[in-house]
Structure 1
Amino acid sequence: MKNTIIFRMQRRLKEVDSSKWFQGVVIAVIILSALLVGAKTHNLPAQAIVVLAALDVAVTVFFVVELTIRFLAYRKKPEFFKNGWNIFDTIIVIGSLIPSGGSGVLIARLLRVFRVLRLVSMVPELRLLINALIKAIPRMGYIALLMFVIFYIYAAIGSIVFKDINDVLWGDVSISMLTLFRVATFEDWTDVMYETMAVYPISWIYYLTFIFLTAFIFLNMMVGTILEVMSEEHENFRVESHGESREGGEPASRAQIEALHDEIAELKALIKQNTR
Structure 2
Amino acid sequence: MTEFNKSIDKKLVSTGHNKLQRRFYEIRNNKIFEFFVISIIIFSALMIGANSYEISPTTMQVLSILDVMITIIFLIEIVIRFIGEPNKKRFFHNFWNIFDTFIVVVSLIPIEDGEMAILGRLVRIFRVLRMVSIIPELRILINSLVKALPQLGYVMLLMFIIFYIYAAVGTTFFASINPELWGDISISLLTLFRVMTFEDWTDVMYESMTVYPLSWTYYLTFIFFTAFAFLNMVIGIVVNVLEQERQIEADLKNQVSEEPTMQDLKQELAEIKAMLQQQQK
1:258 Cα offset (Å): 7.2
Give CA-to-partner distance per residue, 1:242-273, whole Å, 9 cap, x none: 22xxxxxxxx627xx37449968xx8xxxxxx
Aligned partners of 1:155 and 1:176 also within 8 Å: yes
Cα distance change on mapping 1:72 and 1:262 into 2, 3 Å: farther
Aligned match of 2:257: 253
Tell me how far apart the structure 1 counterparts of residues 128 and 157 of structure 2 sit (CA, whole Å): 33
Tell me how far apart the structure 2 counterparts of residues 43 and 258 of structure 1 sit (CA, whole Å): 57
State the structure with more CA Rg: 2
- 2:119 pairs with 1:119: no
Aligned partners of 1:136 and 1:229 also within 8 Å: yes
Aligned match of 1:231: 243
Bigger shift: residues 113-122 or 5-14: 5-14
1:151-166 alignment, distance < 5 Å? 151-166=163-178
The structure with higher relative contact order (CA 8 Å, sep 6+) is 1
1:202 Cα offset (Å): 0.6
- 2:40 pairs with 1:29: yes
Aligned partners of 2:17 and 2:86 also within 8 Å: no
Aligned match of 2:190: 178
Indicate the RMSD between aligned Cα atoms, in angstroms: 2.1
State the AA in 2 paired with 1:121. Answer: S
SS of the equivalent of 2:18 reads: helix
1:110 Cα offset (Å): 0.8
Which of 115, 118, 123 aligns to 1:106? It is 118
Give CA-to-partner distance per residue, 1:125-165, whole Å, 9 cap, x none: 11111111111111111000000000000000110111111
Structure 1: segments with no counterpart, 5+ residues: 244-251, 268-276
Structure 2: segments with no counterpart, 5+ residues: 1-8, 270-281
Tell me how far apart the structure 2 counterparts of residues 8 and 197 of structure 1 sit (CA, whole Å): 78
State the AA in 2 paired with 1:223. Answer: I
TM-score by length of 2: 0.85
- The count of aligned residue pairs is 255
- 2:76 pairs with 1:65: yes
Tell me how far apart the structure 2 counterparts of residues 258 and 97 of structure 1 sit (CA, whole Å): 40
- 2:203 pairs with 1:191: yes
State the AA in 1 paired with 2:208. Answer: T
Which of 43, 51, 66 aligns to 2:62? It is 51
SS of the equivalent of 2:176 reads: coil
Tell me how far apart the structure 1 counterparts of residues 113 and 26 of structure 2 sit (CA, whole Å): 41
1:168 Cα offset (Å): 0.9
State the AA in 2 paired with 1:218. Answer: F
Aligned match of 2:149: 137
Tell me how far apart the structure 2 counterparts of residues 46 and 182 of structure 1 sit (CA, whole Å): 45
Tell me how far apart the structure 2 counterparts of residues 204 and 176 of structure 1 sit (CA, whole Å): 16
SS of the equivalent of 1:102 reads: coil
Bigger shift: residues 149-158 or 90-99: 90-99
State the AA in 2 paired with 1:68. Answer: V
Tell me how far apart the structure 1 counterparts of residues 248 and 232 of structure 2 sit (CA, whole Å): 24
Aligned partners of 1:11 and 1:262 also within 8 Å: no
Aligned partners of 2:27 and 2:33 also within 8 Å: yes
Tell me how far apart the structure 1 counterparts of residues 219 and 208 of structure 2 sit (CA, whole Å): 10
Tell me how far apart the structure 2 counterparts of residues 261 and 38 of structure 1 sit (CA, whole Å): 48
Cα distance change on mapping 1:117 and 1:155 into 2, 3 Å: same
Give CA-to-partner distance per residue, 1:201-233, whole Å, 9 cap, x none: 111111111111111100100010011011101
Aligned partners of 1:95 and 1:112 also within 8 Å: no
Tell me how far apart the structure 2 counterparts of residues 124 and 209 of structure 1 sit (CA, whole Å): 41
State the AA in 1 paired with 2:127. Answer: R
State the AA in 2 paired with 1:158. Answer: G
Cα distance change on mapping 1:184 and 1:199 into 2, 3 Å: same
Aligned partners of 1:99 and 1:105 also within 8 Å: no
1:44 Cα offset (Å): 1.3
Tell me how far apart the structure 2 counterparts of residues 262 and 16 of structure 1 sit (CA, whole Å): 21
Aligned partners of 1:7 and 1:262 also within 8 Å: no
State the AA in 2 paired with 1:75. Answer: P
State the AA in 1 paired with 2:27. Answer: V
